[in-house]
Amino acid sequence: MSLFPFRNPRSTAWPLALFLSALVVTVVACGSTATPRDGFDDQNDGGGLDGPTGFTFTEGAVPCQGLECKRAKCDDGKKTTLSGKVYDPAGANVLYNVMVYIPGGPTGDAPLPEIKEGVQCETCAGLALSPMVSALTDVKGEFILDDVPVTDNVPVVVQVGKWRRKFTVDITSKCTDNPVADKTFKLPRNGSEGDMPQIAVTAGGCDALQCLLKGIGIDDSEFVAGAGGTGHVHVFNGNGGTWPSAPAAATLWNNSPAAMLAYDIALLSCECDEHNENKGSLAGVHDYVNAGGRVFATHYHYTWLKNSPDAAWKALAQWNSSGSAAESDVNVGFPKGKALADWLVTVGASTTPGKVKLTSITGELSSVNPPSQSWIQNGASAVRYFSFNAPVEKPVEEQCGRAVYGDLHLMGSGTAACTTAGNLSPQQKALEFMFFDLAACVQADNTPPSPPK
């Protein structure tokens, strides 16, 4: 395969016969289309022959279409790039490991994959996006898309799990970077801005994880009491919960796991005690996570693990008193842990990489056992956050559920504990990181994230 650059056919410097022969002998892979590159069209009208032009052709191919014709060939190693940052719905904190991509198809208008409501068993390996170009955000929330088309109204999608929002941007400069204005790219605050997961949250007497969702910027209009309604956040009252008109949390988790399967994510707030009397056989959360559900639980919700009917769940951690020291270490011994440590510095939740101050530590958890992953701890015998993928007995490629446990009270109790959008404490920012990690496709924690395919 060889490239044969040639001059504009309108020039008199080369005879027309030589131009035609170049078309015949030049054979280069370009998908299934012929793609004009570089001086393709000074007017951006798709004509492709206004300036000094380089072409690549596939034998028997048809002319390229749409955005593919707008991707410039650059000299001296230069690239046409699009760069920017992705933020949470509040526009307050940048986000790590968010997919940013230009949809596939010759004109960039291929339909986005359908996002189905409720639990499906999905892993990162199961994604089938086929984007034109793609990237993931780093610990500063930054991304760079390489070899982007140069034209107006280019579709750009930001997505993490079932959070997805589509933008259009004008890319105006060839063979250089095209930075997007800061805080352009934010995840949706409501269903009118984009796609969101269905979230169930239980209010408890000693914690209020519903306030996290307000703090990351989800609109009040998205909160509804119990099942049904048009909102994406459905609130249930655990023991001590006071959300107006919300049904008991037992109606969510005691129907193992049918009621919970309507929700992509479940947040379980501490109820000030185990209260096993309202948790049925303690199989509801277990079965939900094994089916592909995602759970974040605080303090006494350890009962789903410690007292589980599944011996494999019981073996995930050791439940003993572990003190209450506030200065905690972020486990940087695995890729996402290192990313969390650096991200906490980026968003102002830590002044020393690898350290974070925690409050309202409950001290029920001492250590964790494989395949559990410790994220934040005080030494080896005082773990504060840990996660695991499920079913725990399955190989990584067959795991599609995920759970996170925090051995502390994160948001306080009652609706009075709710902060305004974007006003999260350092430990709540750590929770925000782990919440969006929980929402993402499931992969092994010891594997660095890779861009969408």
The verdict on 93 and 152 lying in the same domain is: yes
Output the CA angle 276-279-282, nearest 5 degrees.
95
Is the model more confident about 1 or about 254? 254
Could you read off the pLDDT of 350-395 as tens digits, one per residue? Answer: 999 999 998 888 888 999 999 999 999 987 778 999 999 999 999 9
pLDDT at 93 over 80: yes
Assess whether 21 and 53 both reside in one domain: yes
- The total domain count for the chain is 2
Are 266 and 295 in contact, with CB atoms under 8 Å apart?
A: yes
Output the six-digit token pair for 167: 């933008």
Nearest to 437 by CA among 366, 371, 383, 387: 387
Q: Taking 70 as the threshold, does the pLDDT of residue 63 lie above it?
A: no
Co-location of 87 and 180 in the same domain: yes
Q: What are the two backbone dihedrals, phi and then psi, of residue 210, each rounded to the nearest 5 degrees?
A: -60, -25
139-163 exposure pattern, b = at least 16 Cβ within 10 A, e = fewer: bebbbbbebbbbbeebbbbbbbbbb
Q: What share of the chain is helix, strand, coil (3-state, %, to 5)?
A: 20, 25, 55
Mean pLDDT, residues 270-298 taken together: 95
- State the average pLDDT over residues 416-438: 87
- Whether residue 114 is predicted with pLDDT greater than 60 in this model: the reply is yes
Q: Do 99 and 26 belong together in one domain?
A: no
Q: 434 with 404: CB under 8 angstroms?
A: yes
Q: Pairing between strand 33-38 and 62-63?
A: parallel
Last residue of a domain, one of 130, 162, 186: 186
Residues 6+ apart with CB under 8 A from 451: 99, 101, 134, 135, 136
Residues 87 and 182 occupy one common structural domain: yes
pLDDT of residue 159: 95
Domain residues for the domain of 180 are 81-186
Contact 136, 98 (CB under 8 A): yes
Alpha helices in 2-58 (DSSP H): 16-25
State mean pLDDT over 227-233. 91
Structure tokens given for 258: 């049918």
Q: How far apart are CA 82 and CA 232, in angstroms?
A: 32
Are 142 and 180 in a shared domain?
Answer: yes
Residue 255 tokens, joined:
């129907």
> Is residue 257 in a domain?
no
User: What would the DSSP string read from start to end of 99-114?
Assistant: EEEE--STTS-PPPPP
- Cα 2 from Cα 56, distance rounded (Å): 9
Residue 40 is predicted with a pLDDT of 47
202, 273, 388, 417 from 385: Cα distances, Å: 19, 19, 11, 21
Residue 128: the pLDDT is 67
| 101 and 57 assigned to the same domain | no
Can you list the alpha helix ranges (DSSP code H) found in 291-425?
303-306, 311-314, 335-346
| pLDDT at residue 444 in the model | 87
Three-state DSSP at 408 gives: strand
pLDDT of 422: 81
Place of tokens 């003190």: 323
Name the residue with tokens 């016969």: 17
Is 301 within 8 Å of 405 (Cβ atoms)? Answer: yes
Domain end, chosen from 186, 217, 234, is at 186
* The pLDDT value given to residue 417: 60
47 confidence band (pLDDT: 50, 70, 90)? very low
pLDDT at 33 over 70: no
User: What are the structure tokens assigned to 451, written together?
Assistant: 């861009």
Q: What is the pLDDT of residues 130-152, one digit of tens each?
A: 888 999 999 999 999 999 999 99
User: Of the candidates 122, 115, 90, 85, which has an alpha carbon nearest to the alpha carbon of residue 100?
Assistant: 85
- Per-residue pLDDT, averaged over 274-302, amounts to 95
Cα gap 414→421, rounded to integer Å:
17
- pLDDT at 126 > cutoff 60: yes
Per the model's pLDDT, the better-predicted residue between 237 and 450 turns out to be 237
Q: Count CB neighbours of 116 within 10 A.
A: 10
Residue recorded with tokens 């994220």: 375
The pLDDT value given to residue 145:
97
Residue 45 confidence class, pLDDT cut points 50, 70, 90: very low
Whether residues 98 and 162 share a domain: the answer is yes
Helix (H, G, I), strand (E, B) or coil at 158: strand
Residues 118 and 39 in one domain: no
User: CA-CA distance, 293 to 261, in Å (whole number)?
Assistant: 7
Residue 404: band (very low, low, confident or very high) from pLDDT cuts 50, 70, 90: very high
Instruction: Name the pLDDT band for 109 (thresholds 50, 70, 90).
Output: low
Residue 21: is its pLDDT beyond 50? no
195 neighbors 231 (Cβ within 8 angstroms):
no
In eight-state DSSP terms, residue 251 is H
The region of weakest confidence among 5-9, 235-239, 306-310, 335-339 is 5-9
For residue 68, the model assigns a pLDDT of 80
pLDDT for the residue 421: 84
* Residue 191 is assigned to a structural domain of this protein: no
pLDDT for residue 62 = 56
Written as six digits, the tokens of 201 are 């949250």
**pLDDT interval class at 415 (50, 70, 90):** low
When pLDDT is cut at 50, 70 and 90, the band that residue 66 belongs to is: confident
Query: Per the domain annotation, does 125 fall within a domain?
Result: yes
Identify the DSSP state of 201.
Answer: E
393-412 average pLDDT score: 91
Specify the CATH number for the domain of residue 128: 2.60.40.10
Secondary structure (3-state) at 295: strand
Buried b (16+ CB within 10 A) or exposed e, 271-302: bbebbeeebeebbbbbbbbbbbbbbbbbbbbb
Residues 29 and 85 in one domain: no
For tokens 């959360």, the residue is 285
Report yes or no on 49 lying in a domain: yes
20 — phi, psi (to 5°)?
A: -65, -40
- Residue 144 near residue 157, CB atoms below 8 Å: no
Q: What angle do CA 330, 331, 334 make, to 5 degrees?
A: 135
Would 197 be classed as within a structural domain?
Answer: no
Q: Are 54 and 89 in a shared domain? A: no
What's the average model confidence in pLDDT over 85-95?
Answer: 98
Same-domain status, 142 and 113? yes
- Chain centroid to CA 236: how far? 25
Q: What residues contact residue 368 under an 8 Å CB cut-off, 6+ apart?
A: 316, 317, 318, 374, 383, 386
| Region class of 381: left (phi > 0), else alpha (psi between -120 and 50), else beta | alpha
The verdict on residue 23 lying in a domain is: yes
- Residue 33 or 331, more confident: 331
Residue 307: inside a domain: no
Q: For residue 155, tell me if it sits in a domain.
A: yes
Name the least confident of 53-57, 63-67, 361-365: 53-57
| One-letter amino acid of 361 | I
Instruction: Please say which residue of 127, 152, 186 terminates a domain.
Output: 186
| Least confident stretch, 28-32, 121-125, 167-171 | 28-32
